[in-house]
């Protein structure tokens, strides 16, 4: 799952760099197929533009929403890494894949926010009057990963760690119980002599 997360982060960062160097900002859509298009936009909010104008004021200090979301993405990524490292053996393949995708999405957009101050979005889906917010590979990873987590919680559980039972030596035979006291032969009288009675 860590390899999957690393590969998806590389794909996310490469695609954003290519878009930023190739297409003009806020230019016309380049149509692909089935309503999908490519356009170069910048997003200072969370996924799909949510919380774009978020700001946090602590006393006289004003923390920009982009920096705050970047730090939040970093904390989420660290938390996921620790959780996955501790629980990987108990997770199913579906759950590990889901966590790897969520980690990739949080890391990819977190890198943009802390490095650039914004997130590069470029995938645009528009059909008729339906206009979906522009997104990127990292956003897709988060959504797909969350969906897989929901499926995993509904249709599967955590896998049990495989344990091997090693056969030991055979148990000792049961001890023979002593016979009851009345079954022992009668002992001679004290002194070892027997007395005979005559008629």
Catalytic sites, residue numbers: 121, 139
- Quote the CA–CA distance of 36 and 192 in Å, as a whole number: 114
- Give bridge partners of residue 56 from the DSSP assignment: 63
- Roughly how many angstroms between the first and final C-alpha of the chain, as a whole number? 105
CA distances for 150 relative to 109, 144, 146, angstroms = 22, 10, 6
Output b/e per residue, 160-179; b: 16+ Cβ within 10 A: eeeeeeeeeeeeeeeeeeee
In 3-state terms, what secondary structure has residue 97?
helix
d(CA 199, CA 193): 20
State the Rg of the chain over Cα.
36
Q: What is the spatial distance between Cα 99 and Cα 166, in angstroms, rounded to a whole number?
A: 34
Note the Cα 28 to chain centre separation in Å.
38
């Amino acid at each position: 799952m860590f390899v999957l997360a690393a590969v998806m982060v590389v794909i996310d960062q490469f695609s954003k760099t290519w878009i930023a160097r190739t297409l003009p900002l806020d230019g016309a859509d380049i149509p692909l197929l089935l309503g999908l298009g490519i356009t170069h936009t910048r997003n200072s909010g969370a996924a799909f533009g949510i919380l774009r104008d978020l700001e946090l004021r602590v006393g006289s200090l004003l923390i920009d929403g982009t920096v705050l979301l970047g730090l939040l993405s970093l904390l989420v990524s660290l938390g996921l890494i620790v959780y996955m490292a501790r629980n990987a053996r108990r997770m199913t393949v579906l759950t590990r894949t889901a966590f790897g995708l969520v980690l990739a999405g949080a890391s990819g957009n977190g890198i943009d926010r802390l490095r650039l101050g914004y997130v590069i979005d470029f995938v645009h889906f528009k059909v008729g009057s339906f206009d979906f917010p522009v997104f990127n590979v990292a956003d897709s990873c988060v959504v797909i990963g969350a969906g897989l987590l929901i499926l995993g919680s509904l249709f599967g559980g955590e896998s049990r760690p495989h344990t091997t039972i090693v056969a030991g030596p055979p148990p000792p035979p049961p001890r023979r119980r002593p016979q009851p006291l009345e079954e022992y032969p009668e002992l001679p009288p004290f002194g070892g002599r027997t007395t005979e009675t005559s008629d």
